[in-house]
Amino acid sequence: MYPWQSIFDFGETILNSAGYQSLDGDLATGRSDDGGTIRESAMMTDLDQNGSNGEGDKSFMYAEVQVQFTPVTAAEMGFSKRVKTPTDTAYSTTTTTVSSGSYSYQLRYGLGENASAKDVVIYDVFEVAQPSQTNRWKGTFTGLDISQITAKGIDAKVYYSTSTSFGDLATDANLTDLSNTALWSTSAPSDLSTVTAIAIDCSTKTDGTPYEFGSREVALAYVYMEAPEQVDDYLDDPDTTVDEGSYAYNSAYVHTVTRRDGVETEATEECPSTTVGLRAPEASIQKTSDVATGSKESPAVVQDGETLTYHVLVSNDETAITLHDVIVEDTIPTGLLMDEENITYTVNGTSTKVSELDAN
């Protein structure tokens, strides 16, 4: 789902493509499941997901229409930062992620009406905003997407820093000096988790000439992050009513030389910060027994030598997050002997004996 402002971000000409499959047999003017002759045919191939293009089958139709929008100028301009997790439908200023969960920042620079800008550089120092906030956490950098910028013909250069001593980039020009090799490098470190800041230089075209942003032009970049694996130290104390949640605070900066009404203004500006909360992932566990359990007051009775089977069901209750490295612990009651040869686990209907797994 794209918000209205995406017309500025990706262009005012929109291509809508559609595919249709009849479930009542062939159509008079139908085609096979090959995507037809529309421009996005590759995306529409194998719509029924059976691994074949359905030669001889004429139950599919394809169409496309190109629409020209005239966007309203009330769309957001200036420099902004938004954040989103896989469960969010849109970028916003606040969200919450889970331990080891992925999230991303959208950096958006939009120039206003009747203006131009050159020497545009976008900076992001990861999660050091609002330094007065003490109950905080930091994620780790995993990647960057600048495809919207390079599609403009900009020879975008990405700089990386592993420094832990960044201050306010808006007031300290030494921190924004990309020629400072002690602070910035165009080579990404082998371990991306050590990256503390990135800079995206949008000042030059691919032919080496200066790039100038025109009226209402937009640049977009996406920064991908991962939350800490261990979250116990950051979560609320259930015995208090005080919000003890821990958050990641992140802002960003843009440097521009803007021309409006014949006057050039050079500035480095900070955008309002985003806030990312942290929580434990949603999972549930149930335990049943065969012989069926009783109660503390009236416990079930088993005879010496009788088999007692426990069933432990663990469920991932997240809607868009995969849980990794799940550990289940179950203390065996005193007096019971474990039948190690017949311990089994079942995932998605497939059962495997633990003893066979160890043997392999």
Residue 332 CB: number of other CB atoms within 10 A?
A: 9
Q: Which residues pair with 39 in a beta bridge?
A: none
Give burial (CB, 10 Å; 0-12/13-18/19+) of 315. exposed
Q: Is the pLDDT of residue 154 over 70?
A: yes
Same domain? For 210 and 254 the reply is yes
| pTM given for the model | 0.71
Lowest-confidence region among 113-117, 243-247, 322-326 = 243-247
- Confidence label for 72 from pLDDT (cuts 50, 70 and 90): very low
Tell me the C-alpha distance between 221 and 135, whole Å: 28
Task: State the pLDDT at residue 7.
Answer: 58
Same domain? For 168 and 32 the reply is no
Strands 274-279 vs 94-98: parallel, antiparallel or unpaired? parallel
Same domain? For 124 and 258 the reply is yes
- Confidence label for 320 from pLDDT (cuts 50, 70 and 90): confident
Task: State the pLDDT at residue 74.
Answer: 39
Same domain? For 126 and 53 the reply is no
Query: Which one is predicted more confidently, 270 or 293?
Result: 270
Q: Is the pLDDT of residue 208 over 60?
A: yes
What Cα–Cα distance (Å) separates residue 16 from each residue in 35, 46, 64, 71? 14, 18, 6, 17
Residue 293 within a domain? yes
* Number of domains comprising the chain: 3
Same domain? For 126 and 259 the reply is yes
CATH code, 205: 2.60.40.740
Same domain? For 271 and 304 the reply is no
Same domain? For 254 and 289 the reply is no
Contacts of 135 (CB under 8 A, 6+ apart): 234, 244, 245, 246, 247
Backbone angle region of 169, left / alpha / beta, with phi > 0 → left and psi within -120 to 50 → alpha: alpha
Same domain? For 244 and 296 the reply is no
Per-residue pLDDT tens digits for 169-184: 999 999 999 999 999 9
- Domain hosting 317: range is 283-359
- Confidence label for 216 from pLDDT (cuts 50, 70 and 90): confident
Domain boundary among 279, 308, 340: 279
Per-residue pLDDT tens digits for 18-64: 888 888 888 888 888 888 888 888 888 888 888 777 777 888 888 98
Same domain? For 267 and 299 the reply is no
